Amino acid sequence: MDKGLTGKKKIGLALSGGGARGFAHIGVIQEIERLGIPIHCVAGTSMGALVGGWYATGKSVDDIAIILEKHPWKSFFEMKKVPWNVQGKGGLFSMERVERLLREYFGVIRIDDLKTPYTAVAVSLKTGREVDITSGDLVDAIIASGSVPIVFTPRKYGNDFLVDGGLLNNIPCDVCFRMGADIVIGVDVGRPFSDLQLVSDQGQLNFKPWDVYRVINVLLSVVGEAHAQARLANDKVFVIRPYVSHIGSSAFDRVNELVRLGREAARAQEDALRKFMGMESREKILLEKVADFLSE
């Protein structure tokens, strides 16, 4: 751990939603770990809830990258079940396959038992308000936080039904503060400019069954953008924005590329992050190493 980190400040990690772009969170976390930055709490929305949940278990984020890379995510969009899902469950696609995958690797674990305090952000269909899930079954929380309205069936939660938290709070830095953080590292992968490119240069509609996910993600981001920018206007928040706007939210086959882009973004901002954290600069560390070498 860097000598500049005194351990006096509690550091929160807020991970945004953004569909497949959320895989970039893995690369950012890898760099945070390389720098020895201790994370005291994690809050995540949608894909951020998934990656953040895995991290909060204490498992290696390298492992989740391998797991996510080998699964054909587009197979989760089962067209033959759409009529039944719409009529009986309130969404085009069920999250049943996603849930089976998560339970296979997460196992049975409760948020209360996680190594790092964790919150998944969702929205109530009953009240229209944000719901911060801080206890109960971890997989249930992840599914609720990522249940994109219309695309996926809402998640039953007690006497309520929950949908994607990106509607109201896509970058939950404020949740980290409520969890006790003094400063927060926020990772924003939610800006979906590439998702708007559904029309080819020839004027043809490039639309596949799973592209409905991209369209709804655009709408989610438009709705949540104003909320996000207001929350990020805080000198106790350091935001990392991986360059992923050219990658669609349904590009689940580009895991390794997105992880790499997350690492690159964190490395590009390393000096600024060190300054924000009160850590020694890379130049000072290098000079100290040279001085130690010369004194031997």
Start-to-end CA span in the chain (Å): 23
Do the Cβ atoms of 213 and 198 come closer than 8 Å?
no
User: Which backbone phi and psi does 4 adopt, to 5 degrees?
Assistant: -75, -15
Burial (Cβ within 10 Å: 0-12, 13-18, ≥19) of residue 185 = buried
Would you name the residues annotated as active-site residues?
46, 164
Q: How many residues does the chain have?
A: 296
| Closest by CA position to 266, among listed 56, 15, 27 | 27
Q: List the helix and strand counts (H, then E) for the chain.
A: 11, 8
Amino acid at 46: S
| Closest by CA position to 219, among listed 44, 51, 17, 21 | 17
Output the DSSP codes for 143-194: HHHT--TTTBPPEEETTEEEEEGGGT-SS-HHHHHHTT-SEEEEE-----GG
Where does residue 295 fall: left (phi above 0), alpha (psi -120 to 50 degrees), or beta otherwise? alpha
Name 79's Cβ contacts closer than 8 Å, sequence gap at least 6.
209
Output the DSSP codes for 35-46: TTPPP-EEEEET
Residue 77's Cβ-side half-sphere holds a number of Cα atoms within 13 Å equal to: 15
